Amino acid sequence: MAFLQMQGTAKLQQVTQLLKSLEKDLQENNLSTADRVQTLLQLRQHGTNPTNAEPIYSQNGVNTLVRYGVEGETPDVRRAALRCVANALLLDPKMRQAFVDTGYSGKLAEKLKTEDSEDEMVTSRILFYATYNTTLDFKDLIKSHALGENVNYQLSRHAKQFPKSGRKPLSQMDELALSDTLKLIYNISKIFPDLATEFSPSIPHILKIICRIDIPSKPLDGLVGGLLNALSILDLEEKKGKVFESSPLFPTFDNNCNVDKLISILDQAISIYSPQELEAAAIPLLYSLIAIHEVAPDGPRKRMQLLLLPEDTDRSLPIGQSETLSSKLLKLSTSHFANLKVTISELMFVLSDKDAEKLTKNIGYGFAAGFLAARGIEMPQSASESYSAEDGPETARNPITGQRWAAEPQDSGPPMTMEEKEREAERLFVLFERAKANGLLNVENPVTQALHEGRFEELPDDTDSD
């Protein structure tokens, strides 16, 4: 019976026999290299389903396989063994601690210094699984077994696969290896924040790959998604200490190249994904843009504001109703997906230099009010005045919608009667008072202000309403 088709007792018996032959070989060195590879490949196939493969999914089984994975005499032996281990760690989370208990984690981390992407892939994958619910000391792996250096080396190696011209698509194995190493960077940095700076040397390599990679039809999926996730978790602002003489975010040959590529990815993503998908996938990219703007010099900062804030052409309609990137972002900021709306609003606030008055001028009271109220920031009293003070008749804007007054639809109906004007004034008075009571506005009610300034005229009761 072929081992691929074995089930039940027959499968269990063969798995037991195969592992015993490997254990004996470790003591007596009685198998040829070809026999070792064949035995490990059979175990790998049996292990794809844990049922009746219990000897693999045991401390003794993992010990045996890890020894071959680290000490095997040829790459084929080591890869076959480590693939068995990776499979066990994926399918049975309890095996992750079993791997740690073998004591071979350090030697495996050292083997990440390799030129072979298949070796990189399986090594990074095992260490990635070990970030979940184990006692593995990643600080020791970095300090004593060069894990940080070896991870950074792999990012450098892959970056060289993306030359300026004549580039070819990555092989499937190169892409899988890079993806697994990026996941390892993300998890270690997320779970152990103090270790994130160990991977800061990878930042320029990640940016180089992002700049040179073709944007796929699903921009936030696959390798690009992994690159963006890793970038978002690293110390782009160098808060924990200066690493680079000149920031890799703004290379001297083109200060805006990284900004332009990241915003291009965002633009394509927002046109393709649903709000629900963006809630899950777009947050790392938005966080990176926020962090980059925080440390950007004047040129890239103005470039980001130009590309992400509403343009003059947006103001032919109420802000958020055109098809530009800024309008799409603002529409998403009103969605019911909490992380997405908060992160987009935060981006707009940062692009407005964290100034409430600039924010309301850039995106209008309508979009700014909720965000500022949630942050406990008072609505600026002078924003509406600055609209009229700085803009001419053709560019003056409605402070609520951000639309140019000149572009607003003109009322072609009959003029309001005096009674209608009084009712409208009363309605506005009530709305302003409610908004003030709820903390949404901190400006004087315009009706009250008009009364104080003597701009109301007391009319006799018999005044003609026409």
Q: What angle do CA 215, 261, 271 make, to 5 degrees?
A: 60
Contact yes or no for 409/422 (Cβ under 8 A): no
Cα separations in angstroms, 142 against 15, 115, 137, 139: 36, 20, 9, 5
Contact 124, 180 (CB under 8 A): yes
Q: What is the DSSP string of 113-155?
A: --S-HHHHHHHHHHHHHTTSSS---HHHHHHHH-HHHHHHHHH
* φ, ψ for residue 397, nearest 5 deg: -125, 150
- The pair phi, psi for residue 404, each rounded to 5°, is -65, 135
Q: Are 233 and 285 within 8 A, CB to CB?
A: no
Strand partners, 397: 404
- 365 with 400: CB under 8 angstroms? yes
The structure tokens listed for 193 are: 């924040």
The token duo for 346 is 């935060």
- What are the mean pLDDT values of the chain's consecutive 10-residue runs (466 residues total)? 68 96 95 96 95 96 97 96 98 98 98 97 98 98 98 97 76 96 98 96 97 93 96 91 87 95 97 95 97 95 94 62 87 91 94 91 82 80 52 53 51 74 79 71 62 61 52
Angle at 114 between CA 232 and CA 107, to 5 degrees: 90
Under CATH, to which class is 103-240+247-287 assigned? mainly alpha
In the numeric block, which tokens belong to residue 51?
Answer: 């049922």
Q: Could you tell me which of 348, 357, 351 has the C-alpha nearest to residue 386?
A: 357
Confidence at residue 465, expressed as pLDDT on a 0 to 100 scale: 47
**Do 432 and 426 touch, CB atoms closer than 8 A?**
no
Instruction: Give domain limits for the chain.
Output: 1-99, 103-240+247-287, 309-407, 419-449
Predicted local distance difference test score (pLDDT) of residue 16: 96
